[in-house]
A and B are shown apart, each in its own frame.
Chain A
Amino acid sequence: MSWLKPSWQAVLAIVLCVAGLALGAIAAPKVDPLVQPAGTLIYPYAATSWLIFGALLLAALISMARIPSVVEAVVLFIGAHLVAWLLIGGIAGFEGLARAPYFLLLTAAWLLGWRCVAVLSGLRPMASWARSALRLVIPAIFGAWILILWEAVTRGAGIPFILLPPPSAIGQRIASSLPVLGADVRQTIFKAVIFGYIVGSGAGFITAVLADRVPFLRRGLLPIGNMVSALPIIGVAPIMVMWFGFDWQSKAAVVIIMTFFPMLVNTVAGLAASGHMERDLMRTYASGYWQTLLKLRLPAAAPFIFNALKINSTLALIGAIVAEFFGTPVVGMGFRISTEVGRMNIDMVWAEIAVAALAGSVFYGVVALVERAVTFWHPSVRGG
């Protein structure tokens, strides 16, 4: 049996497929009011059910043959996604009517997708472009399957739109509301978040350097900073709105308060992170305070500072969005979420969530990229 290399995902997928076959129709038939004579039932998956079963079994079987890993991955990829696509395509018009085989087949396709990712992660290509392509493809398949399962389950089981709309509806909503979303992003992110982030992190950094230089500041400021960071944003936001008005300035103020402390604490810790021997070395060169700060202590603190910048990138977004719940001009991501929830436009809420998630990831990603470039020397970066 040297031509066979079984994998548990493929075997289980075949078992599920056979069980699905035994359990009968993928989804229940329904009465179509448009078809004559009245009362005629129309059946889902009339044309595609054999294709679904066939593709699934074929992909699972081929994947277990002794073939090159790349071929195996391609077969699994095509099989898993073809089946998922057919399943989701066929359920259109039959939402909520899915029966057990639908979910068994979905699980089987997901198992093949899993196997595909497992095979891909095992690949060790020589070419560097192939390696970087793999680094993108694997999380992409992962993310795609979250969306596929979400779409298939919400539609197959007919989950109410209010509870959880399928991603396709959210996508449509995003596509049709681009101008509104764009205006919200401009208001919330390009004004409040960016400004607050830069000022808050900058102030935290400068305060940390001062606190490090002047001992009484360190003893006095750190506890106060600690207290400020413990202030509940829900309480601070309305006060900031009263102080700085309805526009983005009050949200930026909330972001400043939220981002100040992580930067302060991390920078203070980072400035203490350089080794004794390195500091003694600078002493033997009769290096002054600023020279030691610039040439030794700040570089040594860089990993800590970037840690704070990454934490702050998410905190800033949360702070600005939540602050908009407490008064804002009629634009902004937080404003949109709070009003559209009231109007039961849940897909718009999800659209804003998706945009916020995307913006947050890009923000974080940019900071992480700069971090890699600046702290290339740190064991955690150069190791990977």
Chain B
Amino acid sequence: MTGTSPAVVAASRLGLTFQTNDGPVQALSNVDLTIGKGEFVSFIGPSGCGKTTLLRVIADLEKPTSGTISVNGMTPEQAREKRAYGYVFQAAALFPWRTIERNVGLPLEIMGLSKAEQAERIKRTLDLVNLSGFEKKYPWQLSGGMQQRASIARALAFDADLLLMDEPFGALDEIVRDHLNEQLLELWGRTNKTICFVTHSIPEAVYLSTRIVVMSPRPGRVSDIIESTLPKERPLDIRETPEFLAIAARVRDGLRAGHSYDD
């Protein structure tokens, strides 16, 4: 965590407690985390450990109840108003009354881009997720995986420097997932974006990340942070190398430790 580059996300002693009808739920407690520019950080942990909540706090969709957090040196709210990040939700959340191309263009319309600029970005990002030819289709005419890809295209078209992705590839088959993993790495390498990526898959986390944040539940907290020693250039078959497997084993141990804490 030696931040030579300026911090994009800086959280210290961050906590969030939901007040529910059956008492308070501590979704996050004492999260200390600094994410530098150009990092690819994966969040992994059992269901309910607060991964989505952490991402939502960064995105100013949820207010922390203790601690501090800054995004690009501002409060999350200011960062959101400045359109500092793109967010890919756990579900596609496409608008059924808009065609795919107009769904991807939605953030661009809101930003008030020119028609030509919109068309150019829509085409580029739909190409990127292999959805060219489906511009005029409606979301309900596509498969679940295609819808999720369209929602990724929408976040990419937004073209913010920070990308928050909540299990974006959870609903996809292995082959498409591999392909999109490659595409995402390629995009990340090319654009120097900062990416926060939630996943349940250890190989996916290890393959993509420069850093893996292992979280554990009740209360949701960061239990381990693993730096990846893999090179930036990563062909798919890097997943068979001993180095890769060693990192995966460390992540698995971290997850186990979190789980055994429960018992």
Residues of A within 8 A of B (CB): 275, 277-278, 280-287, 291, 295-296, 299, 302, 375-379, 382
Q: Which residues of A have CB within 8 Å of B86?
A: 284
For the complex formed, measure the closest distance between the CB of B98 and the CB atoms of chain A, giving whole angstroms: 8
User: Which 10 pairs between the two chains have the least Cβ-Cβ distance?
Assistant: A377-B96, A377-B97, A277-B93, A284-B87, A285-B107, A285-B110, A287-B110, A299-B97, A286-B81, A280-B61
**Which of A277, A285, A291, A377 meets B91, CB within 8 Å?**
A277
Cβ contact within 8 Å between B93 and A275: yes
A382–B106 CA distance with the chains assembled, in angstroms: 23
Smallest CB gap from B112: residue in A: A291
Smallest CB gap from A379: residue in B: B140
- B80 within 8 Å of A (CB atoms): yes
For the complex formed, measure the closest distance between the CB of B133 and the CB atoms of chain A, giving whole angstroms: 20
- B244 within 8 Å of A (CB atoms): no
**Which of A275, A284, A287, A379 meets B59, CB within 8 Å?**
A284
A378–B83 CA distance with the chains assembled, in angstroms: 31
Q: Which residues of B have CB within 8 Å of A287?
A: 110
- B169 within 8 Å of A (CB atoms): no
A-B contact count (CB 8 A): 53
A115–B57 CA distance with the chains assembled, in angstroms: 65
For the complex formed, measure the closest distance between the CB of A175 and the CB atoms of chain B, giving whole angstroms: 46
Cβ contact within 8 Å between A283 and B61: yes
A377–B140 CA distance with the chains assembled, in angstroms: 8
Cβ contact within 8 Å between B95 and A286: no
For the complex formed, measure the closest distance between the CB of B26 and the CB atoms of chain A, giving whole angstroms: 22
Q: Which residues of B have CB within 8 Å of A281?
A: 87, 89, 93
- B116 within 8 Å of A (CB atoms): no
For the complex formed, measure the closest distance between the CB of A178 and the CB atoms of chain B, giving whole angstroms: 43
For the complex formed, measure the closest distance between the CB of B150 and the CB atoms of chain A, giving whole angstroms: 13
Select the residue from A280, A282, A302, A382 with max chain B CB neighbours within 10 A: A280
* A295 with B110, Cβ < 8 A, contacts A284-B59, A286-B81, A377-B140 known: yes
One digit per residue, 1 when the CB lies within 8 angstroms of any chain A CB and 0 when it does not, for chain B 78-111 equals 0011110111010101011100000000110111
Smallest CB gap from B111: residue in A: A285
**Which of B61, B80, B87, B93 meets A278, CB within 8 Å?**
B93
Question: Can you identify 28 A-B contacts, CB atoms within 8 angstroms?
Answer: A277-B89, A277-B91, A278-B93, A280-B56, A280-B61, A280-B87, A282-B110, A283-B80, A284-B59, A284-B61, A284-B85, A284-B86, A284-B87, A285-B83, A285-B106, A285-B111, A285-B158, A286-B80, A286-B110, A295-B95, A295-B106, A295-B110, A296-B95, A299-B97, A302-B97, A377-B138, A377-B140, A378-B96
A15–B151 CA distance with the chains assembled, in angstroms: 65
Cβ contact within 8 Å between B61 and A286: no
Q: Which residues of A have CB within 8 Å of B89?
A: 277, 280-281
12 new A-B contacts, CB < 8 A, other than A277-B93, A285-B111, A286-B110, are A277-B91, A284-B61, A284-B80, A284-B87, A285-B83, A285-B106, A286-B81, A286-B82, A287-B110, A296-B95, A377-B140, A382-B140
Q: Which residues of B have CB within 8 Å of A376?
A: 97
A295–B61 CA distance with the chains assembled, in angstroms: 20
Cβ contact within 8 Å between B110 and A291: yes
A376–B60 CA distance with the chains assembled, in angstroms: 34
Select the residue from B86, B95, B140 with max chain A CB neighbours within 10 A: B95
A291–B106 CA distance with the chains assembled, in angstroms: 11
Smallest CB gap from A291: residue in B: B110
Q: Which residues of B have CB within 8 Å of A286?
A: 80-83, 110
Select the residue from A275, A285, A296, A379 with max chain B CB neighbours within 10 A: A285
Cβ contact within 8 Å between B110 and A278: no
For the complex formed, measure the closest distance between the CB of A294 and the CB atoms of chain B, giving whole angstroms: 10
For the complex formed, measure the closest distance between the CB of A54 and the CB atoms of chain B, giving whole angstroms: 55
For the complex formed, measure the closest distance between the CB of A307 and the CB atoms of chain B, giving whole angstroms: 16
A285–B89 CA distance with the chains assembled, in angstroms: 13
A275–B96 CA distance with the chains assembled, in angstroms: 12
For the complex formed, measure the closest distance between the CB of B137 and the CB atoms of chain A, giving whole angstroms: 12
A109–B159 CA distance with the chains assembled, in angstroms: 71
For the complex formed, measure the closest distance between the CB of A333 and the CB atoms of chain B, giving whole angstroms: 38
A377–B109 CA distance with the chains assembled, in angstroms: 21
A284–B61 CA distance with the chains assembled, in angstroms: 8
For the complex formed, measure the closest distance between the CB of A297 and the CB atoms of chain B, giving whole angstroms: 11
For the complex formed, measure the closest distance between the CB of A290 and the CB atoms of chain B, giving whole angstroms: 11
Cβ contact within 8 Å between A278 and B95: yes
Q: Which residues of A have CB within 8 Å of B80?
A: 283-284, 286
For the complex formed, measure the closest distance between the CB of A288 and the CB atoms of chain B, giving whole angstroms: 8
Q: Which residues of B have CB within 8 Å of A377?
A: 96-97, 138, 140
Smallest CB gap from A296: residue in B: B95
A296–B85 CA distance with the chains assembled, in angstroms: 20
Q: Which residues of A have CB within 8 Å of B56?
A: 280
